[in-house]
Amino acid sequence: MAGVIETRGLRKRYRRVDALRGLDLEVPEGSICGFLGPNGAGKTTTMRILMGLIRPSEGWASVLGDDIEGNGLATRSRIGYLPQDPSFFPRATVRNTLRFVVHRYASGSRSAIESSVDETLDLVGLGDRADRKVKALSGGERRRLGIGQAVIGDPDLLILDEPSVGLDPEGRSQVLDLLEGLKERMTIFYSSHILDDVERVADHVIVLDHGEIIEQGPMASFLGGGAATYRVVLDGDDAAAIDSLGREPWVGATRMLEPRAWEIDVTDREAAEHDLLRMLHGYDGTRVMELRSEQRDLEDIYLDLVGAGDDE
């Protein structure tokens, strides 16, 4: 899969801060890529460089196959961008704000422009606010308008800097549905501190800390690939049953937590789902009283990587 975004040795030094310290990142085409990292890790700086808004101190980056040094209008019109603090004309209406974006990056008949504005208003749930002035919108509605500005015109790549910040749970859920719905049409690179949401929609993850990438790859391998841990409580000859189970190739370490309660690491979750209960239950009169998977989620893994308390 080609990298829609690629960087090599990307560095950014502000006067006293080494914001990026040599990033080699790759965002695969067609992915929803979650860009994670504590406050000050360098996410916004990276996105601003990719958009050509600031220049890197060193290194190279390409977006949609174009070197950012020569990132002309042709490429810009294929990228939808939501900055961290989007600015609007406060006295413009919501509809005019979107019309303005279409006029800037696309040409087309008046009716084509109007239908693209209407479609975007529906997409971001602002249909009933179309004629309201931006200054009269709530914070969450303004955020949605920012997302509308980014998605209008059907770009090939969306770069969103914290699209869900400031949204209520319903708004967050709408943003997730929106991202999922857009996945078929475009690559999405977005930063967020809401790890549950990222786990729900992203299929690729990049974690940044202090200006360096500490992990990047598919979500599935990030979450441990096929590995998982199960907790079981057994009745009967539990030690013999566990001993027998331990001979299966997909079973890793086993630990007794307390009499009859065990923890079992597996390397192949699919095999475990299929066979674990059946094998323990079938062993010489043993009965399974309790079985649950203790799968670590994105937040657990992220906190191990960057350290609890390093983020908000």
Residue 45 CB, nearest approach to ligand ATP (Å): 3
254: which strand partners?
264
Nearer to ligand ATP, 84 or 254 (CB): 84
Contacts made by residues 27-30, CB under 8 angstroms, sequence distance 24+: 27/3, 27/187, 27/189, 27/204, 27/206, 28/1, 28/2, 28/3, 28/4, 28/187, 28/204, 29/1, 29/2, 29/3, 29/4, 29/187, 30/1, 30/183, 30/187
Nearer to ligand ATP, 66 or 311 (CB): 311
* 17 makes contact with ligand ATP (CB under 6 A): yes
Task: Restricting to residues 20-59, name those near ligand ATP by CB under 6 A.
Answer: 37, 39-45
**Binding residues for ligand ATP, how many (CB under 6 A)?**
11
Nearer to ligand ATP, 39 or 107 (CB): 39
Nearer to ligand ATP, 45 or 97 (CB): 45
Nearer to ligand ATP, 19 or 150 (CB): 19
Residue 143 CB, nearest approach to ligand ATP (Å): 15
Cα–Cα dist 204/239, whole Å: 40
Residue 40 CB, nearest approach to ligand ATP (Å): 4
* 226 makes contact with ligand ATP (CB under 6 A): no
143, with CB counted inside 10 A (0-12, 13-18, 19+), is buried
Q: List the structure tokens of 215.
A: 């992990």
The binding site for ligand ATP (CB under 6 A) comprises 14, 17, 19, 37, 39-45
